[in-house]
């Protein structure tokens, strides 16, 4: 008794402590959510080795009166790079560090802010390190964490240095400084990625998805139930026929009266006809539902894909996406039309038949239900396994399609390197993988399905034995037994169908999951986010301390540049310096991770994305032409352009002459990616495309680097027309292309190192001069 | 590229960083070792680069180095290496951002998020790389060597 009480008391205590901590955590989380968000939360496994999060209260207790927590950083590695949580806390006076190691729990070290000489973040491959140098501490202190903490660490370092600076300069930090706005943004960005859609069972979600067709589904159900009921009538009629007519005829040697049999025969025919009609209607309705649902699903998927950012497509395989849109929706269609409504009907029949069985003979019915729990148990065993197998099979299919989408467009390279055999082998391997995963499904399935059949056959055998016994004891008549057996075999038919359903449901669930996985990806930059509608811009662009981080890598490290309306900027620098990223940021394909880009004085993030993109003309190194005519391609950005506009754009892009020479002129079909045209011709079409929308801002990403010098000259002429009167940002490796640029900007490792005109930069003999020299040397040899 | 016959001259600098003296006798105070095949051949082909990523030397065979140089090199690599090897898979469940994996690695227990199917990549021979949402790599060097339960949880990926 006493022990129980003590245990209870302990529990209460623990609960209270937990509540206390929880409310505290909530409170502080609200205050400073941006530094608190920890992307890889600590483990909550029951295992004893699992690391627990380093808790703030431990540090709280060490605070002096009047000292307040300003920011904190949770680290997740120890110095040997093992997963171990630690906590760094910045207070109004000190920096405290809590390290939890296996040996000593909760060791706290602290440094007064004035002691801190430097606090630096270093990215070390997949991890990050913080190096603290303090007075009187040679070697410094170091903390490590995974890439997930780097953004927070960056913000934390800024926070610490700000405070230290403010403290040393004698201005006690103002409250508003504690949460820097751009840091705040990052925190919010992060939570934005979390999808808000309901997760859970993909099949339930499929049902939710089908909501718009609820009336049709209801109709399908009604038809199904009606058809089933109609077919259920016939055993009943048969039983009555046997007992009321046939057996009396046989036992009492009566003459056969046709009028006795006729009503039964007509009723049997009637039910058969009714069942046929109803089943016809049902099959049609159900098939239509399946097509409607999956067609909407395909459209939704495609629409959704169009809204996703470039980052998403960089990560995904084309073939896998195609397989999700095509084969996975097809599987769902099969599932809905063949299994889903049937299942509802099966359940209905199952219950109904069971009731009839009980009504006829409760004891026999109990015997008949015998195998059901066994079947249910078997289904449960096999379900999870089948689900993973189907998922693997869907994945294998996607990989196979990826090989196709990889090699078919790349067929020139394959042939040039005579690697046909290798590609055949690669395809053979992925195809074998598809075979192997399906084989795995079949292995389970082929074992499982006959197994269920065997159990139901056994059940039937039991009924015969029990039935014979009851008939022998005169409890029921043969007709009743016949009827009972017919219902029982029907009942087992339903049990089998339902067990099959559970398996096909797993396939559908795997497919539905693959589809919802895509639909759940929240567009990183929804066009609704920026609400400011704009017309034509004048074209002034201002980069204000722009930073961009991709994963753990900082690609743009802080760029400030003011581009006047109509100015042409040439971006120069080695590959990987961040030029293309900067351009992608200017196009708002990605959002900045720090700082801001302002266009005509407005933050890019506030502007409606589509409106903004209408102001941008983009000419890429590898022009992409869509399947269609040349005029379609030129008018891609403005489908309602007149013939006159199209021709004018083509003329200005120096494309008119070669288009005229083509047999079908502007109506010439250019195939996928425009293979029939030369590189220079394609480029000029893409320039015409950019010209036609008359953009305020023009972006040229190495527009001339993939063609010969002669063609370059023509393209250059086309570009000169294009550049005139527009704000232009051009990347070029051939520096001559940039001779018209008002200013040249040299980038290195994500930073601007030089800005100036061609002559100015040559005189400073910096990077640009070196590049120029290198280019001259190449052209002289 | 041919590896220089003489081994590269690596030392620890006073601040603990890796230092390198090239053939001309020029000393680089802070250099970084980079594995060229971190997943498929981690212990051979290691490039020594300066902070700008310019290659200064390339070591084909670590085992061929003198003991002290090899020790310094491996220590510096260990500071930067972070490819936990998954030993046990506890759970893989669907979470807000793709799949949440809960695993025991050679560096302790952790959980991480795998955003999409492409992030689980088979390199052949049962060698699997899992890339989490922050681009951290986790390895399963040999699928067949995992325990049956973990393999079952991984089933949907192979």
pLDDT given for residue A439 in this prediction: 92
Task: Please tell me the distance in Å from A440's CA to the nearest CA on chain B.
Answer: 11
Listed by start position, the domains of chain A span 1-31, 35-175, 202-519, 541-780
**pLDDT per residue over A54-98, tens digit each?**
566 777 777 778 788 888 888 888 888 888 888 888 888 888 888
**Band of pLDDT at residue B3, cut at 50, 70 and 90:** very low
pLDDT given for residue A59 in this prediction: 72
Mutant choice from A44, A78, A84, A126 vs B, greatest count of B C-beta within 10 A: A126
Tell me if B97 and A195 make a contact (CB, 8 A cut-off).
yes
Residue B6 has pLDDT above 60, yes or no: no
Helix, strand, or coil here: A75? strand
**Band of pLDDT at residue A27, cut at 50, 70 and 90:** very low
Per mean pLDDT, which range of A10-19, A182-191, A314-323, A376-385 is the poorest?
A182-191
Task: Please tell me the distance in Å from B108's CA to the nearest CA on chain A.
Answer: 5
d(C-alpha A441, C-alpha A392), whole Å = 9
Q: Which of A522-526, A756-760, B82-86 has the highest mean pLDDT?
A: B82-86
Q: Does A551 touch chain B (CB under 8 A)?
A: yes
Strand partners, A752: A747
Section A581-609 average pLDDT: 86
Q: Does A139 touch chain B (CB under 8 A)?
A: yes
Task: Please tell me the distance in Å from B10's CA to the nearest CA on chain A.
Answer: 19
Residue A308 has pLDDT above 60, yes or no: yes
Domain A35-175 bears CATH identifier 3.30.360.10: no
Q: Does A712 touch chain B (CB under 8 A)?
A: no
Residue A519 has pLDDT above 50, yes or no: yes
Tell me if A148 and B136 make a contact (CB, 8 A cut-off).
yes
Return all residues near A755 (Cβ < 8 A) that are at least 6 apart: A561, A743, A744, A745, A746
**Band of pLDDT at residue A707, cut at 50, 70 and 90:** low
B13 or A223, higher pLDDT = A223
Residue A479 has pLDDT above 90, yes or no: no
Q: For A289-323, give the DSSP string.
A: HHHHHHHHHHHHHHHHHHHS-HHHHHHS-HHHHHH
Section A108-113 average pLDDT: 83
Section B26-47 average pLDDT: 83
Residue A355 has pLDDT above 90, yes or no: no
Mutant choice from A52, A83, A433, A435 vs B, greatest count of B C-beta within 10 A: A83
Task: Please tell me the distance in Å from A590's CA to the nearest CA on chain B.
Answer: 17
Residues from chain A contacting residue B17 (CB–CB below 8 Å): none
Pairing of strands A727-731, A697-701: parallel
Residue A389 has pLDDT above 60, yes or no: yes
Could you say which of B79, B110, B134 has the minimum Cβ distance to residue A43?
A: B110
Task: Please tell me the distance in Å from A491's CA to the nearest CA on chain B.
Answer: 34
**pLDDT per residue over A481-497, tens digit each?**
888 888 888 888 888 88
pLDDT given for residue A473 in this prediction: 84
Section A221-243 average pLDDT: 80
**E strand or H helix at A558, and its extent?**
strand A553-563
pLDDT given for residue A196 in this prediction: 37
Q: What CATH code is assigned to A202-519?
A: 1.20.1560.10
pLDDT given for residue A101 in this prediction: 59
Helix and strand numbers, DSSP H then E, in chain B: 2, 11
**pLDDT per residue over A402-419, tens digit each?**
888 888 888 878 888 888
- The ipTM, to two decimals, is 0.84
A54 or A399, higher pLDDT = A399
- Percent of chain A with pLDDT strictly greater than 90: 3
Under 8 Å between Cβ of A129 and A175: no
d(C-alpha B154, C-alpha B91), whole Å = 9
**Secondary-structure class of domain A541-780 per CATH:** alpha beta
**Band of pLDDT at residue A253, cut at 50, 70 and 90:** low
**Band of pLDDT at residue A172, cut at 50, 70 and 90:** low
Tell me if A388 and B156 make a contact (CB, 8 A cut-off).
yes
Could you say which of B52, B102, B137 has the minimum Cβ distance to residue A126?
A: B137
- Percent of chain A with pLDDT strictly greater than 70: 85
Could you check whether A35-175 and A541-780 share the same CATH topology? no
Return all residues near B9 (Cβ < 8 A) that are at least 6 apart: B20, B21, B22, B69
pLDDT given for residue A193 in this prediction: 35
Tell me if A81 and B82 make a contact (CB, 8 A cut-off).
yes
**pLDDT per residue over A31-56, tens digit each?**
333 333 333 333 333 333 334 455 66
**pLDDT per residue over A728-775, tens digit each?**
888 887 777 777 788 889 888 888 888 888 888 888 878 888 888 887
Token pair of A449 as six digits: 């399905």
Q: Does A40 touch chain B (CB under 8 A)?
A: yes
Tell me if A517 and B116 make a contact (CB, 8 A cut-off).
yes
Task: Please tell me the distance in Å from A385's CA to the nearest CA on chain B.
Answer: 8
pLDDT given for residue A462 in this prediction: 84
Buried b (16+ CB within 10 A) or exposed e, B103-137: bbbebbbbbbbbbbbbbbeeeeeeebbbbbbbbbb
Mutant choice from B104, B105, B109 vs A, greatest count of A C-beta within 10 A: B109
- pTM of structure: 0.69
Residue A192 has pLDDT above 60, yes or no: no
Task: Please tell me the distance in Å from A227's CA to the nearest CA on chain B.
Answer: 39
Q: Does A389 touch chain B (CB under 8 A)?
A: yes
Section A620-631 average pLDDT: 83
Mutant choice from B46, B54, B101, B111 vs A, greatest count of A C-beta within 10 A: B111
d(C-alpha A685, C-alpha A629), whole Å = 11
Q: What is the mean pLDDT of chain A?
A: 78
Residues from chain B contacting residue A82 (CB–CB below 8 Å): 107-108
Residue A593 has pLDDT above 90, yes or no: no
Residue A120 has pLDDT above 90, yes or no: no
Token pair of A594 as six digits: 């720090």
């Amino acid at each position: 008794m006493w022990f129980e009480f003590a245990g209870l008391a302990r529990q209460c205590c623990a609960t209270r402590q937990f509540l206390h901590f929880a409310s505290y955590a909530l409170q502080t989380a609200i205050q400073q959510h941006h530094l608190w968000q920890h992307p890889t939360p600590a483990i909550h496994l029951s295992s004893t080795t699992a690391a627990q999060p380093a808790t703030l209260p431990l540090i709280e207790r060490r605070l002096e009166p009047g000292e307040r927590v300003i920011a904190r950083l949770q680290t997740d590695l120890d110095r040997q790079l093992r997963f171990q949580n630690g906590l760094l806390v910045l207070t109004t006076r000190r920096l405290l560090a809590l390290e939890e190691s296996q040996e000593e729990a909760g060791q706290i070290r602290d440094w007064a802010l004035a002691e801190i000489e430097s606090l630096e973040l270093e990215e070390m491959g997949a991890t990050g390190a913080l190096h603290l140098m303090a007075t009187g501490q040679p070697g410094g202190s170091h903390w490590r964490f995974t890439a997930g903490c780097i953004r927070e660490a960056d913000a934390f370092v800024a926070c610490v240095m700000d405070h230290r600076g403010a403290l040393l300069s004698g201005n006690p930090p103002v409250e508003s400084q504690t949460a820097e706005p751009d840091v705040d943004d990052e925190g919010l960005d992060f939570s934005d990625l979390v999808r808000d859609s309901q997760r859970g069972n993909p099949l339930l979600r499929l049902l939710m998805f089908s909501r718009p067709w609820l009336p049709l589904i209801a109709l399908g159900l009604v038809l199904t139930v009606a058809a089933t009921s109609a077919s259920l009538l016939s055993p009943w009629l048969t039983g009555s026929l046997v007992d009321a007519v046939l057996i009396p005829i046989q036992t009492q040697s009566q003459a056969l009266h046709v009028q006795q049999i006729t009503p039964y025969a007509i009723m049997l025919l009637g039910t058969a006809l009714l069942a046929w009609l109803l089943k016809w209607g049902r099959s049609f309705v159900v098939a239509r539902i399946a097509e409607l649902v999956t067609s909407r699903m395909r459209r939704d998927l495609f629409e959704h894909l169009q809204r996703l950012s470039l980052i998403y497509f960089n990560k995904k395989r084309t073939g896998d996406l195609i397989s999700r849109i095509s084969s996975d929706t097809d599987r769902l269609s099969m599932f809905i039309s063949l299994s889903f409504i049937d299942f509802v009907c099966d359940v209905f029949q199952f219950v109904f038949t069971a009731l009839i069985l009980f009504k006829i003979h409760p004891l026999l019915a109990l015997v008949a239900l015998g195998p059901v729990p066994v079947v249910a148990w078997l289904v449960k065993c096999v379900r999870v396994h089948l689900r993973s197998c189907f998922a693997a099979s869907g994945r294998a299919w996607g990989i196979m399609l990826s090989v196709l989408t990889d090699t078919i467009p790349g067929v020139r390279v394959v042939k040039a390197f005579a690697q046909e055999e290798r590609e055949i082998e690669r395809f053979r391997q992925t195809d074998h993988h598809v075979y192997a995963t399906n084989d795995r499904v079949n292995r389970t399935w082929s074992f499982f399905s006959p197994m269920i059949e065997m159990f139901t056959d056994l059940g039937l055998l039991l009924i015969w034995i029990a039935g014979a016994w009851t008939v022998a004891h005169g409890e029921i008549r043969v007709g009743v037994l016949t009827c009972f057996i017919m219902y029982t075999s029907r009942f087992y038919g339903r049990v089998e169908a339902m067990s099959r359903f559970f398996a096909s449901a797993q396939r559908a669930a795997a497919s539905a999951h693959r589809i919802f996985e895509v639909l759940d990806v929240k567009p990183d930059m929804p066009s609704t986010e920026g609400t400011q509608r704009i017309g034509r811009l004048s074209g002034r662009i201002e980069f204000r301390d722009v930073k961009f981080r991709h994963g753990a890598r900082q690609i743009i490290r802080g760029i400030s540049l003011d581009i006047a309306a109509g100015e042409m900027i040439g971006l120069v620098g080695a590959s990987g310096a961040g030029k293309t990223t900067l351009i992608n940021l200017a196009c708002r394909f990605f959002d900045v991770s720090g700082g801001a880009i302002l266009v005509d004085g407005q933050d890019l993030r506030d502007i409606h994305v589509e409106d903004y993109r209408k102001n941008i003309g983009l000419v890429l190194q590898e022009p992409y032409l869509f399947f269609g005519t040349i005029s379609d391609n030129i008018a891609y950005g403005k489908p309602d352009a007149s013939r006159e506009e199209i021709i004018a754009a083509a003329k200005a892009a120096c494309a008119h002459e070669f288009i005229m020479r083509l047999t079908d002129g502007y109506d010439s079909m250019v195939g996928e990616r425009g293979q029939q045209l030369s590189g220079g011709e394609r480029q000029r079409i893409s320039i015409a495309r950019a010209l036609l929308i008359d953009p305020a801002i023009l972006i040229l990403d190495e527009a001339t680097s993939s063609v010969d010098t002669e063609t370059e000259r023509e393209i250059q002429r086309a570009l000169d027309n294009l550049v005139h009167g527009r704000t232009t940002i051009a990347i070029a490796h051939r520096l001559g292309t940039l001779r018209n640029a008002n200013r040249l900007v040299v980038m290195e490792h994500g930073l601007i190192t030089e800005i100036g005109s061609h002559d100015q930069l040559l005189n400073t003999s910096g990077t640009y001069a070196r590049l120029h020299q290198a280019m001259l040397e190449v052209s002289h040899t | 590229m041919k590896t220089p016959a003489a081994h590269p001259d690596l030392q620890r600098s006073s601040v603990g960083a890796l230092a390198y003296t090239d053939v001309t006798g020029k000393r680089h105070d802070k250099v970084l070792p980079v594995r060229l095949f971190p997943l498929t051949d981690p212990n051979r082909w290691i490039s020594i680069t300066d902070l700008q990523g310019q290659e200064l030397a390339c070591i084909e065979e670590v085992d061929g180095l003198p003991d002290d140089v090899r020790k310094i090199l491996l220590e510096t690599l260990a500071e930067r290496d972070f490819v936990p090897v998954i030993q046990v898979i506890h759970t893989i469940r669907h979470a807000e951002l793709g799949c949440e994996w809960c695993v025991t690695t050679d560096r302790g227990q952790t959980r991480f998020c795998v955003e999409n199917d492409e992030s689980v990549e088979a390199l052949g021979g049962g060698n699997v790389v899992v890339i989490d949402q922050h681009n951290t790599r986790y390895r399963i060097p040999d699928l067949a060597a995992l325990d049956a339960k973990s393999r079952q949880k991984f089933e949907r990926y192979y």
